[in-house]
């Protein structure tokens, strides 16, 4: 049973390695030099899906959050901001037309793309994953904002690629009979860059918002009780209790003439 649990725990890491390796080998690598959508798929795998699987498989969030030599180890917000900025900068750099065209013409640059995207993506996902109560971790609202910022960065890049009226990447040659046009190729690439980040980041957003709302509701229900015996305070009567009728009380104490007090 422990061995089975260990294999299940590291299965996301195995899936990440298989996923990343399959995009670097033929025929996926050959298609990436022919079509923009085939190049967009490795990009989102290196930047989002692969790092997410790696972080889920290995308990890195708490370790990376408490790195003694890392930037601002005692300030989670500053550390997370640096990692988010690094992720955005690296992602935008590798989706610029000049860099994508260079990747098509010089496949040796794919190694640099893979390493930098994996490092930046793993750093960002180390802030988003992990237990809520881990020391040095961001609170749920901050994690939701970070996930939304990373996701919208990739969505904006996808929008620019898909809605471009001209060929966004000049290195790809389109127009062959029966082949994809430049517009269709870029629209498929935009759909891939929208779908994969949505599948990875939207669950994080949902979980963080639910955790934040649950924590707020619990804090609101635990109101401190009013101190008793404090001058200037009046004890509140229990719900469902009302003071006795004054007339009935007087009749019981001073019965009318000719009538005996008591139940008989």
CA nearest neighbour of 154 among 97, 180, 192:
192
pLDDT band for 256, please (50, 70, 90 cuts).
Answer: low
Confidence tier at 7 by pLDDT (50, 70, 90): low
Res 225 pLDDT > 50: no
**pLDDT, greater one: 248 or 1:** 248
**Which pLDDT band holds residue 175 (cuts at 50, 70, 90)?**
low
* Section 100-127 average pLDDT: 93
Tell me the pTM: 0.72
Q: Confidence class of residue 135 from pLDDT cuts 50, 70 and 90? A: low
CA-to-CA separations, 210 to 146, 204, 259, in angstroms, rounded: 16, 10, 69
| CA-closest candidate to residue 204, choices 142, 123, 116 | 142
User: Which pLDDT score, from 0 to 100, does residue 5 have?
Assistant: 41
Q: Which of 46-50, 66-70, 133-137, 207-211 has the lowest average pLDDT?
A: 66-70
């Amino acid at each position: 049973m422990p061995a089975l649990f260990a294999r299940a725990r590291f299965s996301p890491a195995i899936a990440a390695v298989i996923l990343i390796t399959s995009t670097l080998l033929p025929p996926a690598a050959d298609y990436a030099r022919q079509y923009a959508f085939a190049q967009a798929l490795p990009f989102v795998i290196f930047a989002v899906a692969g790092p997410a699987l790696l972080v889920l498989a290995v308990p890195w969030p708490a370790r990376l959050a408490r790195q003694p030599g890392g930037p601002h180890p005692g300030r989670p917000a500053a550390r997370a901001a640096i990692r988010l900025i690094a992720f955005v900068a690296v992602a935008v750099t590798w989706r610029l037309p000049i860099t994508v065209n260079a990747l098509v013409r010089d496949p040796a640059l794919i190694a640099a793309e893979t390493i930098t995207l994996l490092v930046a993506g793993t750093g960002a996902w180390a802030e988003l994953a992990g237990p809520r109560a881990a020391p040095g971790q961001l609170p749920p609202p901050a994690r939701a904002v970070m996930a939304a910022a990373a996701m919208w960065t990739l969505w904006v890049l996808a929008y620019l690629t898909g809605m471009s009226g001209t060929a966004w990447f000049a290195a790809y040659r389109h127009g062959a009979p029966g082949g994809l046009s430049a517009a269709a190729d870029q629209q498929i690439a935009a759909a891939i860059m929208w779908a994969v980040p949505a599948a990875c980041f939207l669950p994080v957003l949902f979980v963080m918002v639910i955790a934040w709302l649950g924590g707020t509701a619990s804090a609101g229900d635990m109101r401190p009780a009013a101190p008793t015996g404090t001058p200037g305070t009046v004890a509140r009567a229990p719900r469902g209790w009302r003071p006795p009728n004054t007339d009935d009380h007087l009749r019981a104490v001073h019965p009318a003439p000719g009538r005996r007090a008591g139940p008989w």
